[in-house]
Each structure stands twice: as C-alpha cells, then as structure tokens.
Amino acid sequence: MDVARAPVNRRFTLAPMMDWSDRHCRYLWRLISKHSVVYSEMVTTAALIQGGKHERHLGFSEVEHPIALQLGGSAPEDLGHCAKLAEDWGYDEVNLNCGCPSDRVQEGKIGAILMAEPELVADCIKAMQDACSIDVTIKHRIGIDDMEDYADMCRFVEAIAATGCKTFIVHARKAWLQGLSPKENREVPPLRYPLVHKLKQEYPELEIIINGGLKNLDDCEEQLREVDGVMVGREAYSNPYLLAEVDKRIYQDERPIPDRMTIYKQYLDYCGEQLLGGHKLNFMSRHVLGLFQGQPGARQFRRHISENIHKTGAGIEVMEDAAAFIR
C-alpha cells in the first residue's frame, strides 16, 4: 500500500494490550477519539513469518489511523521482514516490545528481557529502520531485575538512540522477571515518574512518552508538562469514555464531544457489519462493557450482555436490548 502518511502526533496514545486491544477494541476507541494513536496487541515475528495468517494478525479498519503495530522478537532479520509487512499493510508506525515480562515471552527472548542486551536491541531497531520508511519506535521499562535504575536505563536508551530512533515509550516501573506475574508487574513495582521526567530533561532531542498508572485526563495533562506524550492502557479499556475529552483537551479539537449512547449505536452498526464477515459477537461485545461506567443502569447493562451473549443463537439483539437498561 503506497500512501502518503501524515506525521504521527503521539501526545496521547493507547497502549498495546494482549487479548484486549484487538481491532474491535480499537474501532470503539476511534469512535470516541479521532486523534489518539492506537497500538495493536503485540504480534510476534514467529506468528507472522511461520503462521502466515496476515489478515488475522495485521488486518484493521481504515478509520483506525493513526495506528501502530507492536512487534515481539529478537532476531534482526525477522524484525526487518515484519516491519516491512507493517508498512505494506498500511500501519503508520511499527513498535518493538521491550517491556513485557511474562514467562512465555521471556522464553522466546522477547519483551523486557531484551533490556539486558541493548546492543542486540539496537541491531533489531536498525534492521527495522532499514526495511521500512515508517516510524520505528520502542516501548520499554525503566529497568529489569537488579539493573541500576537510571544509569542503566540511560545506557539502554543511548544505544537505541544511536540508530536514529527518536521515540521511546517508557513504562515507569521496573519489571521483575522472576517472582512476579505479568499482572503483579503492572501493579507491584512502584511507579517512578521522576526517572522518566529526568530522561526527557537530559535527552531533549528524543520524544519521550510516559506509561503506567494514568487514570484520568488531569493526570495526563500533568505529565504532559514534563514529557512529550502519555500512554494509557487499562483505564481506557475499563472506562473507554475517558477518551471523550481527549481530542478537545489534548489536541485542541473543538468538535462536539460524542455522547455515550451515540457511540454505542455506532458500535452496534459496526458489530452488525463484522458479523457478516464472520467475526464472533462475544469477541466484540466485551469491549463495550465499560462504556456506561458510573451511569444509572450500567450494572444491569453489563449483566444482560455477559449472561446472554454466549447463549446458543445469541445475536445483535442481545446488545440492542441491553441499551434499554441505561437510564
């Protein structure tokens, strides 16, 4: 796909989340915010090269732009091949995962474990840059295990920056590769925002995006005084209407803020179209359960969908009927 791409504005980004930020989730997010940058779930190079199911792993709707593909891998040649696939499929950016701490990922030498090998990561980034013309970025932690927090993070960043890579998405927690589950690694290690702020101060030429623990737009705007961008993950999934004011407050877009029910009806139209293409309704309905968080009737709304969407013969009417619970 040979298309002219506008520069990606990463002032507000939505995190890659395994099993969550699939194409249906991203479509819902895009209905709420037109400007946020959305990231795919991590896709391993092995899945793309050996599996070959490119539509399954790479397919997305045109309305999802600006969109980034996150890759997991540690072989430069394979990552270069997959970066070219990302460009060919129309992605605006390709991102290397150096932050995931799961045991399964570690076994494949993917994710946070790569922070121990900055030279290898630099080779990977260089191979990706050589293979494509879209932005190549990296997402990583402030450190892993017994790494000296700030000094070792700087050594890692400097090695990658030497390739010409300019964009670093930093999860402001250390990852403990032994002893903590992936869930615990998102919650137990303390957030250390000042280390990320210091990184931006000492490397002003780099684009530094902060990730971890951001719950609302007030928090995000506070962080934007120190860094170039923010990345929000779990909160945007459990409470997607958080995004309703992003375009106005972060991107100064004065278009009217969409209301929840309008968004819901637009998403129902999307679900109906996707059903015709063979997508499963329960895979789509789960992403909208938090849309009415805090509203009267939200609990009954969620319960109706959760209890009925898996029943034999369940169709789009389950989601249509659920709307009646919202007052």
Beta bridge partners of 93: 68, 135
Looking at the structure, tell me whether residues 284 and 221 fall in a common domain. no
* 174 and 282 housed in the same domain: no
Backbone angles phi, psi at 215, to 5 degrees: -110, -20
Q: What CATH number does the domain containing 308 carry? A: 1.20.120.1460
> Can you read off the two tokens belonging to residue 226?
């120190």
Q: Which pTM was predicted?
A: 0.94
pLDDT for the residue 232: 98
Q: How many separate domains does the chain show?
A: 2
The CATH number assigned to the domain holding 93 equals: 3.20.20.70
Residue 76 has pLDDT above 90, yes or no: yes
Q: What is the pLDDT of residues 277-301, one digit of tens each?
A: 999 999 999 999 999 999 999 999 9
190, 223, 249: which is the final residue of a domain? 249
Tell whether 269 and 189 lie within a shared domain.
Answer: no
Q: What is the mean pLDDT of residues 22-51?
A: 96
pLDDT the model gives residue 2? 44
Structure confidence by residue, pLDDT tens digits, 171-193: 999 988 877 777 787 778 889 99
124 part of the active site: no
**Residues 252-268, mean pLDDT to the nearest whole number:** 96
Boundary of a domain, candidates 249, 271, 290: 249
Q: Does residue 3 lie in a domain region?
A: no
Q: What percent of the chain has pLDDT over 70?
A: 97
- 133 and 52 share a domain? yes
How far from the centroid of its chain's Cα atoms is residue 202's Cα? Answer: 26
Task: Evaluate whether residue 121 is within a structural domain.
Answer: yes
Choice among 25, 98, 100, 124 that is catalytic = 100
228 and 104 part of one domain: yes
- Residue 74 shares a structural domain with residue 133: yes
Is 233 domain-assigned? yes
So what's the pLDDT on residue 105? Answer: 61
**Which residues form the domain of 321?**
260-325
Q: How confident is the model at residue 260 (pLDDT cuts 50, 70, 90)?
A: very high
DSSP codes of every residue in 138-193: EEEEEEETT--HHHHHHHHHHHHHTTT--EEEEEEEEE-SSS--HHHHTTSSPP-H
Return all residues near 298 (Cβ < 8 A) that are at least 6 apart.
292, 325, 326
Q: Are residues 238 and 302 in the same domain?
A: no
Q: Which of 167, 190, 146, 149 is nearest to 8 (CA)?
A: 167
Q: With respect to residue 44, please indicate whether it lies within any of the assigned structural domains.
A: yes
Position 310 in a domain: yes
Task: Let me know whether 30 and 176 are in one domain.
Answer: yes
In a domain, 1, yes or no: no
